[in-house]
Structure formats: C-alpha cells, structure tokens
A and B are shown apart, each in its own frame.
Chain A
Amino acid sequence: MEETIMSQGQARIEPGRRARKEHKRKPLWRKYIWGYLFLVPAIAIFIVFLWVPIFKGIFYSFFHIDFVKGNTFVGLDNYVNVLSNPDLLLSVRNTLYFMLLTLVIGFWVPIAASIAISELKLFQGFARIAAYLPFVVPGVVLYGMWRWMYDPVGPVNALFGFFGAEPVSFISDSRFSMVSLVVMETWQQFGSAMLIYLAGVLSIPKDWYEAAEIDGAGVWARIKYITLPSMRNLIVLMLILQLIGTSQAYQSQLAMLDGGPNKATLTYALLTVKYAFNQLDYGAGTAMGILMFLVLSLLGILQFKMNREEY
C-alpha cells in the first residue's frame, strides 16, 4: 500500500523536475517581458484613472477651475472660501449626527439578528434570504419606495395611527428627516452585514458551548463570554468600515431631500458635491475632498491594521 503511494508520488514529481530544468534553459527575460507586457494595461489605467486624479486633486485645490478660459492659480482662496462657509460647520455636525444615528439604530441590529437567526431551527434559510433581499433593491427604487412608506397617508403613518399617534411627515419635518433616512438605510443594508456576522457565529466550535453549559453557564453568559468575544475582531472591522462609509454618505440625502428640509440633511460629502456640480466651483469641491482625506486617512490606517490581524 505504502509502496504504491510512494511510486505514484514519484511519478507525479518526475515531470515537475523535468519542467524545472526545461524552465531554466528557457531564457528568463522572455518570460519577464511577457510578465511586464501583462502589467502595462493595468498600470496605465491605474495611473490615468486613479493616481492622476488623486494627485491632480491636490493641485486643483489651489486653482480656480474653468473649462472654457483655463485654470488660474488662486493660492489658498479655495480653502479660505470653504472654511469660512457657515454651512461647513453645519454639514460636519449633520455628518456626525448621521454617523451617530447609524451606530445607535443600525449597528447592533445585524449582530443581534445574526445570533438570533443562527439559533432558528426552522426557516433559517428563508430568514436569511428575506433579510438579504432589500440589499438587492436598487437605490432609485429604494427612494421611490420609502418616500411612499413615509408619506403622510403611507404605511408607516397608518401603523402609528393604529396606535393612536398623530400623523407625522417623517421626511419633510427637520426633526425626523435624518432619523428616517437612517431607518431606510438600515432596512436596506443590514442584511449583508448580517450574513457576514452569521458566517462568524456559525464558525464558533459548538463544543465550547457544550463545555460552558456543563460548567453551568446560562444562555446569556454563553453569548456574552463565548459568542461576542469570538466575533470581536469582525465587529471592530465592520465598525471601522461603517464609519468610513457613513462619513462619506450623500446619495440618499441628495435623492430623498436634496439636503433639506432647512439643510437638516446636508452632509459634508453632499456639500462637496453641491460645490462642484451646483455652483460648478470644482476648486472648492476638490479642497473639501482634500480636507476629508486628511481626516479619513486616520480611519483608513486603522482599518488596514485590523485587516492584517484578521486575515
């Protein structure tokens, strides 16, 4: 038995050895020329469509951009303009408020749901599909759908009315508009985070729970001391990803409310977009992008460190 395996192994190694010899005879430079030729398109595209815009961004932030008359150097004017705009502080505050709300309303939901769904005995597959389904709903459909959900005569108000509450105009009342957007985004996005957590929950060895139970740990103690600590790295990674994502949010704020009512949903990224594409002041928009980069690169470094630990 052992012999046959040995001889098979040798038979498999044999052509490999010959190949390596062959390989040495073939000139390396020919192989490397192909290797570099394969890299040329990717390097060219990365330079032209990523590195050039990134570096031009620094350059443009000191210029007044005019597509017709050409760009003129304006020094720090763009930065002065942006920083003296009273909306800037408001937009930073709105962004922080949005980030806080997504943490309070949205962050714990997928963690709790993944633990709960992992314990389902029946319909587990169905619950997973149902939770993920909103994630495949296109953004534009989401906006149309939820404008109606939040309508004064829409389903959410019908539900509230059933409990005897007065009708609320969720998105056009500046007290509720941001919260409403966060609920909408949580509805759409928690399913994909839930699946990621679920993979983590299901990979925890079951005998750990067995051992803990024999030692007298209750259900809550098992979750607190086994499940959650095992997911710790994943949770921190997802937290950083979420902070990076939400700090740059503008699409639903733009599509649902255009930053209103009364600038209550004007986020930092939305202000950037408005500078560039409403006022056509690309220089100021770029300057805001640079300022944002300085703040976010801190988070990026954190994520990089986490990724290294995780994988």
Chain B
Amino acid sequence: MKERGILSASDLRKPWNKAVYGFMVLCIAVMTFTMLYPIGMTMFNGLKSNQEINTFPPRFFPSEWHWENFPKGWAYIDLPMFLKNTLLIFGGNLLVTILVLGMAAFSISRIRVPYHRAIYFFILMTLFIPASSYMIPNFVNLKELGLLNSYWAFWLPAGANAYFFLLIKNFFDGIHPEIFEAARIDGASEMSSFLRIAIPLSVPIFATLAIFTFSTAWNDWFWPSLVMQTQDKYTLATAIYKYVINARSLDSSVKFSILFMVMVPPIFVFLAFQKFIMRSVSLSAVKG
C-alpha cells in the first residue's frame, strides 16, 4: 500500500473533500503556470519581432520566429568579456573559500588547538551583524586598502564568510577521526592530512559551496557595480544592469534575447544538479 499523507484514501471518497482537493490541485496548476509563464515569455519575446512584442494583447508564441535577435544580442555588448570576469570572480572566490575556510575549519574541528572555542565564536559572531549596517564602511575600507577595481576586492573577502565556515566545520566534525589517526601513524603531516584526506573527503560540501558561490557571482549586480569602476572589469550582472535594463534605445526583442541568454546558464546548472541543490536548500535555513 502507498504511504498516506495528511489525507487517506477514504477521505478522498467524500464528495466535499474531493472538491476541495480538486480546487487545491487547480491552485497548484495555476501556481505552476504563473511560475513558468514569465520565464517562457522571456524566451519567446526574444524570438519575436519588435513590433509583435508591442502589440496588445500579448501573444505567448511568436507568429514569426526571429532567430537573428540572438546574434544581435550577443554582439550588442561584449558578453564574453563580462562572462570571463564573472567566472574569474567565481573561481577565485571558491578557491579562497575552500583553502582559507577549509584550513580554519580543519584546525578548529580536527586539531583542536587551545582556545579554539574563543576563535570559533570570534568567527561566528559576524553572522549576527546585519550586512547592510557595515556595507558603506566596508566600501570605504576597500577604498583605503587600494583594492577598488581589482579582483582581490572579491577574492579576499570571500574568505570572511562565517556561514560557509560553519558548513565546512560541521562537515569535518562528521568525518571519522580514526582516518586521521591512521594517516598520522603513517607519518602524514597536518598539511598533508588536510590536503590529501580532509579535502577529498569533503567534495559534497564543497560542491554545495560551489553552487552558492556561483549563484552569488552570477546574480550580484549592485556590489560589483560599486567596487569595479571600469567597464572592462564589470561582471555580467552589472553589465546587464547598466547597459541592458537601463538602455533607452535598445529594441525590446534584442533585450529579451540577452536576458534569456543570461538566464539559461543558472537554469541549466539548476536542472543538472537539482536533486543535489534541493537538498542543500534546507541548509540555507540556518543562514543568517
């Protein structure tokens, strides 16, 4: 027999319950449609002629398929350059996160140096200070350090993430300690047990961090627009905000084709790793 939920099979035999259940299914169907419609609209608007987009009432599917909007959108701004900048920030951030926070978590969780609890609280305390309250001094601080318009302004602060630290530390706590004892008998130094045991065993948690880091690097448009001050350093999201969203003379059809191209990679990443991502979403419940 199938496992029951809130409703049992006999509930659904009563007409009133049946009607309510049917209404609920209808609501979910409407919700699903509402979720998918704007995404599909962006795609199909990118394939319409500019005139067709502006006719009222709007049609969902294009009457003529204008594939040339995509090459036009690709050539409108230097997408490959902005993509390169975004990926540079993503890669560097991930590397710093894994190395800096991984080493710190290894030290706190496995080596347990004296005063490790004090250091642990020193790191975790930052979680309870709302980010927007120090956003402006943070900017002034980066400026005084001379880091503006440099990738280091992203890479270095990536190591100051208490939430990611907590995730890695909890993961290390779960690794069986005898593995490290065995390595120590074989003469492994602390460095090599970190690099050759802790890191390879922690691929699942690093994959979760990679997805979080990717979505931040891909989505964040405001902070990069402040820190990066010349066009050749802009990230993709910043460039789209400055040159596409706020463009006055850009055809809507080309605009939608660009928006669609920017939306595809994260959707693809999500669909490819959806089982994995859906599991890590519940981790984000503790995020402050």
In the complex, the answer to whether B178 meets A16 with C-beta atoms within 8 Å is yes
Answer whether residue B38 sits at the interface, using C-beta atoms and an 8 A cutoff: yes
B170 to chain A, nearest CB (A): 10
Q: Write the A198-232 contact mask toward B (1 if CB under 8 angstroms, else 0).
A: 01000000100110010000010011001100000
**Does A1 lie at the interface of the complex (its beta carbon under 8 Å from any beta carbon of B)?**
no
**Which one of A49, A209, A227 contacts B8 once the chains associate, using CB atoms below 8 Å?**
A209
Most chain B Cβ neighbours within 10 Å, of A42, A133, A134, A237: A42
B226 & A277 in contact (Cβ 8 Å cutoff): yes
Contact B263 A141 (CB under 8 A): yes
Query: Which candidate, B54-62, B63-71, B200-208, is the interface stretch facing chain A?
Result: B54-62
The reply to whether A56 and B45 form a contact with Cβ atoms under 8 Å apart is no
Which B residues are CB-close (under 8 A) to A161? 57
Is residue B197 within 8 Å, beta carbon to beta carbon, of the partner chain? no
Q: Is the CB of A210 within 8 A of B8?
A: yes
Which stretch (A80-88, A97-105, A168-176, A281-289) binds chain B? A281-289
With a cutoff of 8 Å between Cβ atoms, the chain A residues found around residue B39 in the complex are 133-134, 137, 145
Q: B5, B20, B133, B190: which contacts A34 (Cβ < 8 A)?
A: B190
Q: Which residues of B are found within 8 Å of A297, using beta-carbon distances?
A: 128-130
Contact A15 B185, CB 8 Å, known A113-B28, A140-B241, A191-B35 = yes
Q: Do A145 and B38 touch across chains, with their CB atoms under 8 A apart? A: yes
User: Per-residue 0/1 for B137-158: is the Cβ within 8 Å of any A Cβ (1 yes, 0 no)?
Assistant: 1111101010000000000110
Q: Is A72 an interface residue (CB 8 A)?
A: no
Q: How far is the CA of A20 from the CA of B218 in the complex (A)?
A: 47
Closest residue on chain A to residue B34 by CB atoms: A187
Q: Which of B73-81, B87-95, B101-109 contacts A (4 or more CB under 8 A)?
A: B101-109
Q: How far is the CB of B160 from chain A (nearest CB, A)?
A: 4
**B114 at the A/B interface (Cβ < 8 Å)?**
yes
> Provided the pairs A45-B160, A130-B35, A131-B32 are in contact, do residues A223 and B6 lie with their beta carbons within 8 angstroms?
yes
Please name all residues of chain A whose beta carbon is closer than 8 Å to the beta carbon of B31 when the two chains form the complex. 113, 127, 130-131
The minimal Cβ–Cβ distance linking A45 to chain B, given in whole angstroms, is 4
With CB as the reference atom, state the residue of chain B lying closest to A210: B4
**Is A254 an interface position by the 8 A CB rule?**
yes
Inter-chain contact A144/B255, CB cutoff 8 Å: yes
Measured between alpha carbons, how far is A158 from B53 in the docked complex, in Å?
Answer: 13
Interchain CB contact under 8 A, A141 and B240: yes
Q: Is A300 an interface residue (CB 8 A)?
A: yes
CB distance from A16 to the nearest CB of B (A): 6
Q: 27 A-B Cβ contacts within 8 A?
A: A18-B185, A19-B185, A20-B181, A23-B181, A32-B111, A41-B103, A45-B160, A48-B145, A50-B134, A50-B160, A53-B137, A65-B140, A127-B31, A140-B245, A144-B256, A144-B259, A146-B38, A148-B45, A149-B38, A187-B34, A195-B281, A234-B285, A251-B222, A254-B222, A282-B139, A292-B132, A293-B130
Measured CB to CB, the residues of B under 8 A from A are: 3-8, 11, 17, 20-21, 24-25, 27-28, 31-32, 34-39, 41-42, 45, 54-58, 99-101, 103-104, 106-108, 111-114, 116, 119, 122-123, 126, 128-141, 143, 145, 156-157, 159-160, 162, 165, 178, 181-182, 184-185, 189-191, 194, 215, 218-222, 226, 237, 240-241, 244-245, 252, 255-256, 259, 262-263, 266-267, 269-271, 274, 278, 281-282, 284-288
Chain A residues with Cβ below 8 Å from B34 are: 187
Given that A53-B141, A138-B219, A234-B285 are contacting pairs, would A187 and B38 also be in contact in the complex, using a CB cutoff of 8 Å? yes
Pairwise interchain contact A54-B129, C-beta atoms closer than 8 A: yes
Q: Is A73 an interface residue (CB 8 A)?
A: no
User: Are B266 and A36 in contact, with the CB atoms below 8 A?
Assistant: no
Extra A-B contacts (15), CB below 8 Å, given A46-B122, A269-B132, A311-B286:
A32-B111, A36-B113, A41-B159, A46-B126, A127-B31, A140-B240, A141-B262, A195-B282, A209-B4, A248-B130, A282-B136, A285-B136, A289-B137, A300-B128, A304-B128
Q: Is the CB of A38 within 8 A of B266?
A: no
A140 x B237 contact (CB < 8 A): yes
Question: Smallest CB–CB gap between A144 and chain B, Å?
Answer: 5
Which residues does chain A contribute within 8 Å of B28, judged by CB atoms? 113, 116-117, 120, 127
Most buried by B among A130, A226, A277: A130
| Closest-CB distance, B43 to chain A (whole angstroms) | 10
The 10 closest A-B pairs by CB, nearest first: A42-B104, A35-B111, A35-B113, A34-B190, A293-B133, A57-B137, A38-B107, A19-B181, A158-B57, A45-B159
- Chain A nearest Cβ from B87, distance in angstroms: 14
Cα distance A145–B37 in the bound complex, in angstroms: 11
- Contact of A139 (CB < 8 Å), options: B99, B140, B237: B237
Instruction: Specify which chain B residues have a CB less than 8 angstroms from the CB of A11 in the assembled complex.
Output: none
Q: Which residues of A contact B256 (CB under 8 A)?
A: 144, 148
Task: Kindly provide the distance from the CB of A157 to the nearest chain B CB, expressed in whole angstroms.
Answer: 8
- A39 at interface, CB cutoff 8 A: yes
Tell me the nearest residue of chain A to B220, going by C-beta.
Answer: A139
Report yes or no: A43 in contact with B32, Cβ–Cβ below 8 A. no
